[in-house]
């Protein structure tokens, strides 16, 4: 099964933003400034189309508007106090919710019980009858559940799969509504989602899969290591060591690469019993040369 990363007609670039500018920073600034007004115009046109009975054109227009707002918000992540951040996010979600109601069957906004809060997401009923396979999808570091519509959720539903998308801790809805920060133990996030999926009518409980995108590829694989009700896991991308990848572009202070072996004076290596930051590092310093341990 091939799941395309967009729905036709939802990702065109406004003409004023197509020209080359002074690098990525300049392009991002233009996007943050230019996409919301474009989204507003597209949303007005789409709402007008719905009112005159053109539901499909209106739905697709609302998806385009949602996508423009989402992209504008993305380019403002380095400016969390900018009022355009909340505005663009709220408008993106609102346009998507309007579009979701115009699908047949509608894409259903859902709230999945999670600890003392809920996880916000969407349920897509797959085309077909009876018990259907189900794919749970989530984004990565800061991507919203709405983006997963274009990353295979709509395509999978058309192909006979139920789909559940959700924002987990650290992702937009969970962070904004309930202040839930990012966490690495994603199995404790996915297990309540699987519990909830198992209660839905029309779900084949033996064919539930998990798909994670970007850093979500690591999170999905981590969850699959502990949540054994999953029949399959898709990691887009496959990430084995997130820490190594995160620091790969930076010079990391280290005694490796032969540095420790160059120490020639006697060296006492200690380990503080209650040091939670560097616990265990002492054992990695045993490569220091015999000369330094005299």
Active site residues per annotation: 214
The half-sphere exposure of 222 on its side-chain side, counting CA atoms within 13 A, is 19
Whole-angstrom Cα distance, residue 153 to residue 149?
Answer: 5
Cα separation, 199 vs 237, whole angstroms? 29
Residues 144 and 150: their CA atoms lie apart, in Å, by 11
* Alpha-carbon gap, residue 279 to 18, rounded angstroms: 51
Q: How many CB atoms lie within 10 A of CB 273?
A: 5
Rounded to an integer, what distance in angstroms lies between the CA atom of residue 29 and that of residue 78?
11
CA–CA–CA angle 224, 227, 228 (5° rounding)? 95
**Long-range pairs for 18-26 at CB < 8 Å and ≥24 separation?**
none
Beta-bridged to residue 135, according to DSSP, are: 163, 209
Q: Which structure tokens are listed for 218?
A: 């690591």
From first CA to last CA, the distance across the chain in angstroms is: 64
Number of other CB atoms surrounding residue 17 within 10 Å: 16
Q: 61 and 49 in contact (C-beta within 8 Å)?
A: yes
């Amino acid at each position: 099964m091939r799941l395309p990363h967009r729905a036709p007609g939802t990702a065109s670039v406004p003409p004023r933003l197509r020209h080359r500018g002074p690098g990525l920073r300049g392009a991002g600034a233009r996007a943050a400034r230019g996409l919301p007004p474009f989204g507003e115009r597209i949303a007005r046109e789409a709402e007008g189309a719905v009112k005159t009975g053109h539901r499909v054109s209106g739905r697709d227009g609302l998806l385009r508007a949602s996508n423009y707002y989402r992209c504008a918000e993305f380019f403002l992540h380095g400016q969390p106090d900018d009022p355009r951040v909340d505005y663009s996010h709220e408008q993106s979600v609102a346009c998507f919710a309007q579009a979701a109601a115009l699908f047949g069957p509608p894409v259903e906004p859902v709230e999945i019980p999670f600890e003392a809060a809920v996880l916000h997401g969407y349920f897509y009923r797959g085309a077909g009858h009876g018990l259907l396979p189900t794919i749970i999808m989530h984004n990565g570091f800061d991507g919203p559940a709405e983006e997963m519509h274009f990353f295979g959720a709509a395509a999978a539903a058309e192909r006979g799969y139920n789909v559940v998308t959700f924002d987990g801790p650290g992702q937009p809805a969970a962070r904004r509504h309930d202040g839930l920060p990012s966490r690495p133990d994603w199995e404790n996030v996915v297990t309540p989602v699987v519990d909830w999926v198992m209660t839905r009518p029309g779900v084949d409980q033996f064919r539930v899969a998990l798909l994670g995108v970007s850093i979500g590829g690591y999170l999905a694989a981590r969850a699959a290591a502990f949540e054994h009700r999953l029949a399959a896991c898709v990691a887009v991308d496959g990430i084995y060591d997130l820490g190594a990848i995160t620091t790969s572009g930076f010079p990391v202070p280290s005694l490796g690469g032969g540095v420790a072996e160059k120490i020639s004076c006697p060296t006492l290596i200690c380990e503080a019993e209650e040091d939670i930051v560097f616990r265990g590092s002492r054992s990695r310093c045993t490569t220091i040369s015999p000369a330094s341990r005299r």
